[in-house]
Amino acid sequence: MRGNGKPKISEFTASWTVRMQVAGKRRDFGLGSLDKVPLATAREKRDAIREQYAAGLDPVAVRKKAAGVPTFQKAAEQLHKERLKGWSNGKHRAQWLQMLKTYAFPIMGSLPVDAVERQHILDVLSPIWSAKPETAARVKQRIGAVLDWAYGKGWREAEAPMRALTKALPKIDRSGGHFAAMPYADVPGFMAELRTREGMGALALEALIFTAARSGEIRLATWDEVDLDRGLWSIPASRMKRKKPHVVPLSASALAVFERAKALRADDAALVFPGMKRGKPLSDATVRAVLRRMGHADDPHGFRSSFKHWAGEVAALPNELSEAALAHAIPNKAEAAYRRGDLLQRRRVMMEAWARYCEGETAGSNIVPMVAA
């Protein structure tokens, strides 16, 4: 570095300027107008620039960073806006930012994004890490995405400290699966009680159990997907987790639920199980609330596990049948080849047996020979 970096008065703009010679190149830095910045302040600013150069920093970058580092909340909102068009899942688009608003923003939303440290993230995650593991995992991932994005923008000195963070959080016992599932033996009693409940949420939950479908598949079901005469529900690929179309054979019990929903249909509504707002589906929280009001901590998604265990342990059905009903991918190539078709007719018999089990028929009367079917 050459030059003494003395502040000078510009002849044309009447402002303070520091002229530095760095690596043979001249660089000028404005310090403010002459009538607003006294000489003593100009000298202080000059000294700060010289110290930044001595430390190997670019004063322009430092100034831009000081002026433009957003808060964590602003960074998250900007990232969400940038990525919004790339997300095909409407529910994911809506929930991505909402989850941060609920859990992260109250604790660290007002912090500059470069000031967010490991302890702040722990303060967000610790209260929900064991109580709401799936939610906590999503919040953690989204915080990491915001911090890594900010690092790429030059607003942070380092990426998100997620590896060190994981070690500071307690291990979660997932031996029982990701979702709390009701034991299949308890399902008949639960179904008897569920049928005493009124409301679209209870009706949707009943349909979910009879079809072993995912919550989102049920809540977003439309009447143009349902053929009541043939007893088939055809879910398009766009609404399936694996992005492949899925046909659900409807048992007599499931058909009865859809018929009850049809009787409640108003103004040719498209949704089978509409929410309170016109044209809007039920929320997952509404379906889950039915369970909570009945005193159960189980998750609606857990009934898929109840069905799976019943199929293997009570009905002794081939694995490929229950996997096909659940629309699961088959990692075993031999088994996948065996299951080239969707086994629709055999699945229809299975779903009838499951429905009769759910309605309380004895184990001996609800098993239908799959080979004959």
How is the beta sheet containing 7-9 ordered, strand by strand? 7-9, 15-22, 25-33
Specify whether 248 is located in the same domain as 279. Answer: yes
In this structure, of 106-120, 220-234, 288-302, the range with the lowest mean pLDDT score is 288-302
- Say what the pLDDT of residue 332 is: 54
Check whether residue 105 and residue 188 sit in a common domain.
Answer: no
Please check whether residues 232 and 330 belong to one and the same domain: yes
Same domain, 24 and 78: no
**Domains identified in the chain, total number:** 3
**pLDDT over threshold 70, residue 365:** no
What's the pLDDT tens digit per position in 64-114?
555 578 899 999 999 998 887 766 556 667 788 888 999 999 999 988 888
Question: If pLDDT is split at 50, 70 and 90, which confidence band does 232 have?
Answer: very high
Question: At residue 342, does pLDDT exceed 50?
Answer: yes
Average pLDDT along the chain: 80
Interatomic CA distance for residues 34 and 126, integer angstroms: 53
Cα separation, 91 vs 107, in Å, equals 25
Domain that holds residue 116: 72-168
Report if residue 366 sits inside a domain. no
Give the burial class of 128: count Cβ atoms within 10 A of its Cβ; 0-12 exposed, 13-18 middle, 19 or more buried.
middle
pLDDT at 295: 80
The answer to whether the beta carbons of residues 222 and 212 sit under 8 Å apart is no
Please say if the pLDDT value at position 15 is more than 80: no
300 and 347 assigned to the same domain: yes
DSSP state of 27: E
19 versus 285: the higher-pLDDT residue is 285
Is residue 325 one of the residues assigned to a domain?
yes
Residue 125 clears pLDDT 50, i.e. is over it: yes
